[in-house]
Structure 1
Amino acid sequence: MVNDKINVVGTNIAEKATMIWNVADMLRGPFKPHEYGLVILPMTVVKRFHDCLLPTHEAVLKEYESKKHLAVIDGFLTRASGYQFYNTSKFVFESLLADSENIEANFRDYLAGFSANVQDVLAKFDFDNVIRRMVESNTLYLVIKEFNTQKGYLGPDKISAVDCGYIFEDLVRRFSESFGEEAGAHFTSRDIIYLMTDLLLTDAKLDETGNVTVYDMTMGTSQMLSCMEERIHELNEDIEVTCFGQEFNPSTFAIAKADMMIRGGDPNNMRFGDTLSDDQFKGFTFKYCISNPPFGIDWKREQKAVEAEAKLGELGRFAPGLPKISDGQQLFVLNGLSKLAPDGRMAIIQNGSPLFAGDAGSGPSNIRQYILENDWLDAIIQLSTDQFMNTGISTYIWILSKDKPAYRAGKVQLIDASHCYEQRRKSIGTKRNDITDLCRNLIVEAYGEYKNDAVYGDKNGIYCHSKIFGSEDFGYNKIVVERPQRDENGEIILKKGKPVADKNLRDTENVPLVQDIDRYFEREVLPYAPDAWIDKSKTKVGYEIPMTRYFYEYQPPEPVDDIVKRIKKLESEISESLNALFHKENEL
């Protein structure tokens, strides 16, 4: 079974994005291939604004003429335009093209007519310099003409806000690939987003009226936010959804803010800046957090600010600990937790490192300890490899909740969904696998039913496996086991009546939290080292979540007789091939 909605929309997105990207044909020469996006991305945003505003253009001009003497007129003009933005220039693309001799002055007049929130978007694109380069290369008129054709039409009557967002995503991917960037850093495919939204909204109690807040700390072009809004409205179309997001990449932030304006939301909720070092939402809390932060990326740029905030303790976001400098993804988890309302829930994508990286007492382990001992980890879902466009590694969706229902309290559900996918007919980068309707339903069913050691689907095909553990099952005491130094006669060396530890014989043991340390020591250590003792001053608590071990299934080796038969068969085939070869050479 295939998700028809994803595939149909995906086809339309790809076709429209390809047609728009082909505008780059006329940029060859003046612009290098990796610079095409500098023109195409802002022009696509401008054309989307243009086509949205076109039906109310005359009404806005009329309202502007009657109200321009007032000190504040934004409210009048946004009501007239029907959007959170407007344009008071007399020009539209059609009239721009009618005066080719003055295309630059008129186009700049057109852009200057946009409201201040659009000006911020254009500034993030550095569009002024791009226009100058198009003028110098005589391509401005040609680009505007191409965008004014039917293939460049981006009106809401033909392309929904969600679909337009994904067209932006596709264009960003093409730009990133031409620039040599990792395209996956900018977006997450729709099949994964829908799985995250459905997991977050399982058993959601959405009131008939009211407001739900959604936050994405690394929003890219904001498609996770728009898909969350879409899913919530499918459950209750009357509920109000307010989206908030932060992004550090200027062009993707510009697209996100543009998308928010087009969808009728508050563009001021889309904020620019580095989430780790320049938190734009201090003091805010949200009902839902959904995010795919970068993983495997260092946080050296943010190190000074992050360490300073960590010293604030509970007054900051990073009190529990800091991960290794080469991988900052756990910092985003801590940021998200600090932003969750008392009944908040978060879905966040991570690679395998946060499951087990770091020994007892290290920053990564302390962060896991903080999450588990507060009973905020609800579930972890392991996805298959090859799910993302820029990496083939295994990835995991963590579901965290500040208000678990009683039956999930003190427990963590692990779902192995690494076999729950369908292969794509055509890969996109390294994305070769899709989470289709069937796959998503199986995973959501496993999550919702909350059964231990339950398999959903066909064990010989597409399936997922659910297991449930106590939070303490992931914890351990790391004990230091000492052995005594001995003199040349084999006698134990004493100091103040106590044996002196031999550093060369020092060892450690990880004792599960659910086990008594002394009994473990008597059972597992003393029978093999009767002179050993525990240095209890060095005991540290650690946490790790070894999913691979929990879902490992023993595969018995091939029987020896079968191996012998296979080897003999291979030997026979090789011998026959050699005989045939030498026989042929003798004939020559």
Structure 2
Amino acid sequence: MQASENVKSLSSFAWSIAEILRGDFKQSEYGNVILPFIVLRRLDCILEASKANVLEASDALPDGVDDLTRDMMLFDAVGDGIKVYNLSALTLDKMRNQEPGQLYDNLIKYITSFSSNVRDIFIEKFLFIDHLKRLRDGKILWPVFERFVQIDLHKSEVSNVEMGYLFEELIRRFSEISNETAGEHFTPREVIRLIVDLLVAHDADSLVGRGIIRQVYDPAAGTGGMLALAEEALANLNSDIRVELFGQELNPQSFAVCRSDMLVTGHDPEQIAFGNTLTEDAHKGKRFHYMLSNPPYGVDWKKYKDPIVEEAGELGVDGRFGAGLPRVSDGQLLFLQHMISKMRHDSAGSRIGIVMNGSPLFTGGAGSGESEIRRWMLENDWVEAIIALPTDLFYNTGIQTYVWILTNRKEPARRGKAQLIDASGERFWSSMRKSLGSKRREIPEAARNEILQIYADFEHADPNVSKVFATTEFGYREVRVERPLRLRFEVTEERLETLKEEKAFAKLNGADQEAILVALGKWPAGKSWMDRERFLDDLDTLAKAEKLSLKAPIKKAIGSALGEQDESAEICMDAKGQPEADTSLRDHELVPPGERWQDYIAREVTPFVADAWVDEGYTDAQDGEVGRVGYEISFNRYFYKYVPPRPLTEIDTELKALEAEIAGLLQEVVD
């Protein structure tokens, strides 16, 4: 379903009101006025029909009634499951017929007459009273108000789904002009629909019948678009199903829009929480049937890392972040771990759909936080499918994105396996007639259905778009390969200058430094040592002859300054008589899953570097075996498409044309 012409018309009309704000408000502040006015008008239209019932019910309330009872009785008076009321006798239309000079006071009274769940949204999250005061002081409150009252937002004219589109379009526009990140607020509807369809793909039979309840959660809810479409999809499968929506959102404006939408659609607004999901889990202990999210990409979590690190350290795998912590420059895998922690462990289980950029697939080597998180997910067999989407789908970025589908109730055929789908090709997208920010492409319904069919087929016939792997195939064992240190020692002017810069040597007094330099200068010019032991023996002999006291740090500094790598030199041995490793030649080999590292090294390393050996002290923290286990998922490797180089004649012709162009430009400069 695409945004209707009605929504586009409403968006353009609301946007036109920004012209009145020009001068009194910065462009980045337009949304602070227009969005709360849209919410206010929507609530005003919805509550209009029940206004008399609510006022009558309020007058009939017994003295001393507690807040909870009062709210429940007045919610009943509103009806339709709507959990919001307003006790003012005014409506926006009635205010329009009163004196303009009374408007500010009337609006304040009207806003403060809402039930507390809405009153707090306007006052604390939208900061609407502050903006109304600025409108009044700028003498533009009345013209702005009058334009908003012209918008008909009754449910008969604008559905809840259309309201979602309206909010998204307005937020996108405001984000563009203020250089904010629109993608942090909402996700394109066709992407959400794909995620939702993938989540419920196996559930048609289990959702049939009466008394079915499903709980849906989004930890980065934005304006609530994902939750709304998930509910719509479930209702299409079963009109009698009861869907409970839960979410949390950090952005005050997005939270206000989302909670307002929950209010007017009959959901419990208290299930949409405000705050940072990663540091303050508002739904602690809750478990959900379906979870979906589009967390912010590449967002730094350094400023609030302390409680996250503390939770990971104290609770480990019993908490939300026990698998590992990604680098502080990107928190996507924190959101995914958080969602996994909220899986249900009953027969219904849970399914998760999350869209992320490419970083969580491959960032971080063996033993890193990212790799350990991937290892945890794959070894627990939660990753069901990953779908690569086309570029240029999102409003704020054109980068490649991926939909991950995870579940703890895989069908038997999928157990121990993960499906990768490359849906980034031209057959899966179409160009938009008009770009919206960075969004230049969309996934048409036919392409979405094809992706769903490829997913359903599992073992798909076309390996160019779908491949199935055992989850262990994404793993590897990283072993550390060392090579021996070989040094040639020689006294030269250049190396003596290097010695002067050695920290231990520089700490000596001037006389001792000079004595050492003079002594070293007595060795014959051009003399060299290919064996470190012989060099050190000769150094001791020289020191004894020159009556120098060379302590271990000074001897080490001299060796470091006068020594140079030379493959023809003898191997340097350590105190235990074992070859000393040259850290500059250290390398790491990635041993494929299922193969012994000894066999791999014997085949891939020893024939080419005979003196190399594996550091058997470099072990995995979990299994204690030699080498560290790592996991990565490389779409580029699995779906590599060979592109032949251009013919040499074509390249040569292009170079000659460029040379002629450059020569012409140079001639113009000379002339």
TM over 0.5: yes
Task: Give the structure 1 partner of residue 377 of structure 2.
Answer: 371
Distance change (3 Å), C-alpha of 1:565 and 1:39: closer
> Partner residue of 2:599?
519
Paired residue for 2:338? 335
CA offsets, 1:245-277, max 9 Å, x none? 000000110000000011100000000000111
> In structure 2, what is the equivalent of residue 469 of structure 1?
469
Q: Over aligned residue pairs, what C-alpha RMSD do you find?
A: 2.2
Rounded to whole Å, the distance in 1 between the matches of 2:411 and 2:617 is 38
Distance 1:11 1:192, change over 3 A: farther
In structure 2, C-alpha distance between the alignment counterparts of 1:546 and 1:499, rounded to whole Å: 37
Specify the SS of the correspondent of 1:531: coil
Is residue 163 from structure 1 mapped to residue 248 from structure 2 by the alignment? Answer: no
In structure 2, the residue matched to 1:217 is 219
- Distance between the aligned counterparts of 1:202 and 1:86, measured in 2? 38
The answer to whether the 8 A contact 2:113-2:119 is kept is no
For residue 353 of structure 1, report the CA deviation from its aligned partner. 0.7
Q: How does 1:84-483 map to 2 (within 5 A)?
A: 84-100=83-99, 101-123=101-123, 124-149=125-150, 152-204=151-203, 205-208=206-209, 209-312=211-314, 313-342=316-345, 343-419=349-425, 420-452=428-460, 454=462, 465-483=465-483
Report the residue type matching 2:399 in the other structure.
I
TM-score for both structures, normalised by structure 1: 0.91
d(CA) in 2 for partners of 1:511, 1:568? 45
Deviation string, structure 1 residues 140-170 (Cα, Å, up to 9, x no partner): 2222211111xx1111111111110221121
* CA deviation after TM superposition for structure 1 residue 385, in Å: 0.8
Instruction: Tell me the CA shift for residue 356 of structure 1.
Output: 0.7
**Contact preservation (8 Å) 2:172, 2:395:** no
Secondary structure, aligned partner of 1:302: helix
Q: CA deviation at 1:568?
A: 6.1
Q: Measure how far apart 1:84 and its partner are.
A: 0.8
By how many angstroms is 1:366 displaced? Answer: 0.8
| Deviation for aligned residue 1:504 | 2.8
Listed as ranges, the matches of 1:523-542 within 5 Å are 523-538=603-618, 539-542=627-630
User: Amino acid of the residue matched to residue 415 of structure 2?
Assistant: A
Counterpart residue number, 1:484: 484
Structure 2: gaps spanning 5 or more residues: 488-529, 532-568, 619-626
Give, in whole Å, the separation in 2 of the partners of 1:452 and 1:161: 38
Q: Relative to structure 2, which stretch is displaced further, 127-136 or 42-51?
A: 127-136
C-alpha distance in 2 between matches for 1:389 and 1:540: 40
State how far apart, in whole Å, the 1-side matches of 2:225 and 2:333 are: 22
Report the identity percentage.
42
Tell me: CA distance 1:504–1:453, structure 2 relative to 1, closer, same or farther (3 Å): farther
Output one character per residue of 1:429-470: Cα deviation in whole Å (capped at 9) or x when no partner: 111110111110111111111015526xxxxxxxx7110011
SS in 2 for 1:341: coil
Task: Compute the displacement of 1:177 (Å).
Answer: 2.1
| 8 Å contact kept, 2:327–2:369 | yes
Alpha-carbon spacing, 1:301–1:493, altered in 2? closer, same or farther (3 Å) = closer
Once the two structures are overlaid, the 10-residue window that deviates more, 309-318 or 479-488, is 479-488
Equivalent position of 2:52 in the other structure: 58
- Are residues 566 and 372 of structure 1, via their aligned partners in 2, closer, same or farther at CA, if it must alter by over 3 Å? closer
Deviation at 1:483, TM superposition (A): 1.9
* 1:41-68 deviation digits (Å, cap 9, x = unpaired): 1111010000001111112112222226
Change (3 A) 1:478 1:23: same
1:380 aligned counterpart, secondary structure: strand
Deviation at 1:224, TM superposition (A): 0.2
- Does the Cα contact within 8 Å between 1:453 and 1:468 map onto a contact in 2? no
Distance 1:214 1:573 in 2: 59
The one of 525, 529, 544 equivalent to 2:632 is 544
| CA shift for structure 1 position 573 | 13
CA drift at 1:36: 1.6
Deviation track 1:361-387 (CA, whole Å, cap 9, x = no partner) reads 111111111111111111110011101
What SS does the corresponding residue of 1:180 show, helix, strand or coil? Answer: coil
In the TM superposition, residue 547 of structure 1 has moved relative to its aligned partner by 0.7
Letter in structure 2 aligned against 1:56:
S
Indicate the larger mover: 56-65 or 83-92: 56-65
| Worse-matched range after superposition: 489-498 or 473-482 | 489-498
1:166 counterpart letter in structure 2 = Y
The residue number in structure 2 matching 1:586 is none
Report the secondary structure of 1:388's partner residue. coil
CA distance in 2, matches of 1:46, 1:242: 24
Secondary structure of 2:350's counterpart equals strand
Shift in alpha-carbon separation, 1:280–1:572, aligned structure 2, 3 A:
closer
TM-score (structure 2 length as normaliser): 0.80
Cα offset, 1:567, TM superposition: 4.9
- Alpha-carbon distance between aligned partners in 2 of 1:238 and 1:259, rounded to the nearest angstrom: 21
Pair member with larger Rg: 2
Distance 1:572 1:135, change over 3 A: closer
Compare 69-78 and 244-253 and name the one that shifted more. 69-78
Q: Which amino acid in 2 is paired with 1:364?
A: E
Match of 1:77 among 74, 78, 88: 74
Contact 1:345-1:401 within 8 A present in 2 as well: yes
